[in-house]
């Protein structure tokens, strides 16, 4: 009996690694609506989850909020269980108790990753607008803060009046690194092509504690501003770290190796303040787009040679009314 006991102990010990692998970072991936029909979050959330989980660094829990006209009385997520919240969520407002709970989480050191239209959310929530730095649409104007863009190689703010948020047709565009020493950007080329996506421009906000990691030139030939617009940002709010990417309109955009890499690294940085991930082979170059067929294929329409860029007009669509302007 004693022998058997030792045999069990021995065999068990064979499977224990010398140094226990670090526990995966816990990620809360928030969705539930995104600008009415303009963003198919039911398709993009599984892509974002797969991007994170393939690194082996993250354990992702998806949290779907009720529609904004729905019942929030039983929606009480415990943010403190997670090291980082990834927002694939654009809603007009939240109940005050939920807002305060989220603010506390970030102030106390929680991480936040803002993907694409998540920077359209919550125009009337000052703390959220400080967390994201800049945002657009949902009737934001100069009262939301100045425009922010790069001029002569430097980040400037511009108090000119006008609406916030614009983009041209979805095309590939070149992303320029502005902070090559930041852990998220370290080892990335100075310029690389992003796959077909919306290039957000004329974003406004307080821009406090904000560092712009990368910009892209907004082409006047494609309804652009002629300016170098912020594309990737990091911010601090209290003890919390925020990574904000304006890329990621649809699965096609999310399949870009540049998007995936910066999203994986940005999420790790928001969770821990460090980046341990290497730049993958096949990262896009200054003139060449690089995308993942396995990720692009998560849009079922991809195999038919078309792309899904909005929610289908059926019962699967959210119950909220469409937003006033395309995002």
Which parts of this chain interact with Zn ion (CB under 5 A)? 198, 249, 327
Tokens at 29, concatenated: 């991936």
**CA dist list (Å): 271 to 27, 84, 130, 153, 275:** 8, 5, 18, 29, 10
- Report the nearest approach of Zn ion to the CB of residue 24 (Å): 30
For Zn ion, the closer of residues 83 and 202 by Cβ is: 202
Strand (E) or helix (H) holding 126: helix 126-132
Residue with tokens 């816990």: 26
**Is the distance from CB of 201 to CB of 183 less than 8 angstroms?**
no
- Report the nearest approach of Zn ion to the CB of residue 327 (Å): 5
For Zn ion, the closer of residues 197 and 228 by Cβ is: 197
- Report the nearest approach of Zn ion to the CB of residue 18 (Å): 47
Dist CA 106 CA 118 (whole Å): 16
Tokens at 185, concatenated: 């950007």
For Zn ion, the closer of residues 130 and 198 by Cβ is: 198
**Is the distance from CB of 32 to CB of 67 less than 8 angstroms?**
yes
Residue 111 DSSP label: E
- Report the nearest approach of Zn ion to the CB of residue 323 (Å): 11
For Zn ion, the closer of residues 46 and 168 by Cβ is: 168
Closest Cα to residue 275, out of 55, 46, 101, 85? 55
> Shortest Cβ contact with Zn ion: which residue?
249
For Zn ion, the closer of residues 51 and 198 by Cβ is: 198
The residues pairing with 45 across neighbouring beta strands, listed in sequence order, are none
- Report the nearest approach of Zn ion to the CB of residue 253 (Å): 8
For Zn ion, the closer of residues 135 and 240 by Cβ is: 135
For Zn ion, the closer of residues 279 and 310 by Cβ is: 310
Cα-based angle 253, 280, 46 (whole degrees, multiple of 5) = 40
CA dihedral 244, 128, 324, 220 (to 10 degrees): -40
- Report the nearest approach of Zn ion to the CB of residue 169 (Å): 12
Dist CA 271 CA 82 (whole Å): 9
Neighbours of 73 (CB within 10 A): 8
- Report the nearest approach of Zn ion to the CB of residue 76 (Å): 29
């Amino acid at each position: 009996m004693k022998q058997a006991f030792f045999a069990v102990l021995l065999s068990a010990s064979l499977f224990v690694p010398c140094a226990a692998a670090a526990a995966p970072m816990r990620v809360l991936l928030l969705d539930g609506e995104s600008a009415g029909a303009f963003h198919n979050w039911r398709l993009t959330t599984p892509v974002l989850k797969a991007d994170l989980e393939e690194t082996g660094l993250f354990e992702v829990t998806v949290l779907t909020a009720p529609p904004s006209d729905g019942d929030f009385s039983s929606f009480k997520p415990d943010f403190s269980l997670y090291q980082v919240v990834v927002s694939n969520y654009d809603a007009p407002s939240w109940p005050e108790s939920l807002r305060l709970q989220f603010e506390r989480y970030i102030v106390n050191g929680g991480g936040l990753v803002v993907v694409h239209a998540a920077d359209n959310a919550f125009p009337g929530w000052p703390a959220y607008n400080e967390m994201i730095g800049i945002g657009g649409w949902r009737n934001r104007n100069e009262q939301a803060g100045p425009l922010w863009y790069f001029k002569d190689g430097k980040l400037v703010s511009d108090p000119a009046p006008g609406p916030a948020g614009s983009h041209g047709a979805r095309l590939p565009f070149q992303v320029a690194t502005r902070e090559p020493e930041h852990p998220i950007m370290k080892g990335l080329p100075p310029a690389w092509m992003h796959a077909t996506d919306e290039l957000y421009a004329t974003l406004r906000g307080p821009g406090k504690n904000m560092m712009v990691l990368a910009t892209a030139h907004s082409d006047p030939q494609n309804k652009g501003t002629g300016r170098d617009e912020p594309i990737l940002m990091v911010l601090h709010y209290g003890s919390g770290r925020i990574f904000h990417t304006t890329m990621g309109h649809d699965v096609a955009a999310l399949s870009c190796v540049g998007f995936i890499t910066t999203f994986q690294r940005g999420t790790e940085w928001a969770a821990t303040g460090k980046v341990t991930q290497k730049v993958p082979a096949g990262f896009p170059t200054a003139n060449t787009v690089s995308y993942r067929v396995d990720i692009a294929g998560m849009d079922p329409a991809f195999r038919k040679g078309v792309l899904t860029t909005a929610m289908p007009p059926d019962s699967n669509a959210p119950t909220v009314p469409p937003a006033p302007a395309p995002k």
